[in-house]
Amino acid sequence: MRQLEVALIGAGLIARLHLDAWIGAGAAVRVYSDDGRAADMAREFGARAVDSLAEALDGANVVDICTPTDSHHEIAMAAIAAGVGVVCEKPLAATAEEAEEIVAAAARAGVRLYPAHDVRFAPPYARLHELVATGGIGEGAVGRFFFSAYHPRPWTGHKSARSGGILTDQMLHGVDLAYWIFGDVVRVHAYYQGEIATPAPEGAVATGTAVLTHASGALSQVISRWTATPKPPVRVSFHVSGTGGTVSYDSEWPQEVRIADGEAGNFGYAGESVFVTEMREFAQAFAGGPEPRLGARDALAAVRITQAAAESAWTGRAVELSVKGAA
């Protein structure tokens, strides 16, 4: 089988993680970034840097968009026009309208479109989904989804609070999981607090608090936080309840390997990186294998729900979503 040719756009932290994962999945990668950082990153991973988006797309099977959100639409539309498959870092686009355009264009062109919602590839969430989908909790009643993390670098850009801050950024993870587990969302309410507008400094502190009402009648509470310190750097947990019992998870529970005491530097073991699992699944799909666990519909739903959360926090009203087509 011919090696998958991936055009990776961007050279930030996410681009590095994706690049490593693509190489692990056996892809050949060319990197383009308009910030001059592509060459160094490409050299480090044994990839190839190119000088323009057009050059990157030329002959590529897949574009992987790891640039700031505002540029996703333009790059995705260029790739779709060139018949190149699309992987896009979340969120797919800065607005629901842009996301809808991308999804519609990809469908018309017959181009595969996969959003990089990496947490769906984390074992506890994958298992939760499997349990719920196979009736393990009976009829779903309520889910609570918590994400907190330290923001390791300054938050760039110039966005007002109206654009949603943490609600359209980190909260997408929790929203995506709630949608994956309980399906379509018809009503969204959210509050946000703390550093909502950008730019914001490293270690910016913010909280988003959302309630989602699903078409099935199930309810989700999603709480998303940027924490004041990197202790711990990331914490995720959930609790899901239904007529057949409950399921819960907390990343603070001991796993296969943990530091029992003392300072052990960066030593640790977390199993296979979610990005490796994710890019391997995408690569197999682009090579004609089975469809991955998420696609264009999920990308659009996540954008629509998080945009509704932003609108709710800004207006102080709950926002109704129509089930048709998306959320």
C-beta closer to another protein: residue 123 or 245: 245
250 scored as a contact of another protein (CB under 8 A): no
197 scored as a contact of another protein (CB under 8 A): no
**Contact characters 91-130, another protein, x per CB under 8 A:** ----------------------------------------
189 scored as a contact of another protein (CB under 8 A): yes
Do the beta carbons of residue 18 and residue 8 sit within 8 Å? Answer: yes
C-beta closer to another protein: residue 121 or 145: 145
- How is residue 299 annotated by DSSP? H
Secondary structure (3-state) at 100: helix
144 scored as a contact of another protein (CB under 8 A): yes
C-beta closer to another protein: residue 66 or 204: 204
C-beta closer to another protein: residue 35 or 250: 250
* Cβ atoms within 10 Å, residue 76: 28
CA-to-CA distance for 127 and 136, rounded, in angstroms? 11
Cis previous bond, 199, omega within 30? yes
Do the beta carbons of residue 235 and residue 148 sit within 8 Å? Answer: yes
Which amino acid belongs to residue 191? Answer: Y
12 scored as a contact of another protein (CB under 8 A): no
- Binding segment for another protein (CB under 8 A), chosen from 12-20, 140-148, 171-179, 298-306, is 140-148
Out of 241, 277, 306, 307, the residue judged to bind another protein by CB under 8 A: 241
**How far, CA to CA in Å, does 185 sit from each of 129, 203, 213?**
17, 32, 6
For the chain, the distance separating the N- and C-terminal CA atoms, rounded to the nearest angstrom, is 37
Q: Closest approach of Cβ 96 to another protein, in Å?
A: 20
Q: Closest approach of Cβ 210 to another protein, in Å?
A: 8
211 scored as a contact of another protein (CB under 8 A): yes
The interaxial angle of helices 171-182 and 296-315, nearest 10 deg, is 120
Q: Closest approach of Cβ 319 to another protein, in Å?
A: 10
244 scored as a contact of another protein (CB under 8 A): yes
- Binding segment for another protein (CB under 8 A), chosen from 41-49, 71-79, 171-179, 227-235, is 227-235
Out of 156, 160, 243, 255, the residue judged to bind another protein by CB under 8 A: 243
**How far, CA to CA in Å, does 278 sit from each of 216, 275, 282, 315?**
29, 5, 6, 36
- Binding segment for another protein (CB under 8 A), chosen from 19-27, 66-74, 216-224, 255-263, is 216-224
CA-to-CA distance for 14 and 36, rounded, in angstroms? 16
Do the beta carbons of residue 222 and residue 145 sit within 8 Å? Answer: yes
Buried b / exposed e over 172-183, threshold 16 CB at 10 Å, is bbbbbbbbbbbe
Residues lying near another protein in the complex (CB under 8 A) are found at 139-142, 144, 146, 187, 189, 191, 193-194, 205, 207, 209, 211, 213, 217-221, 223, 225, 227-229, 239, 241-246, 316-318, 320
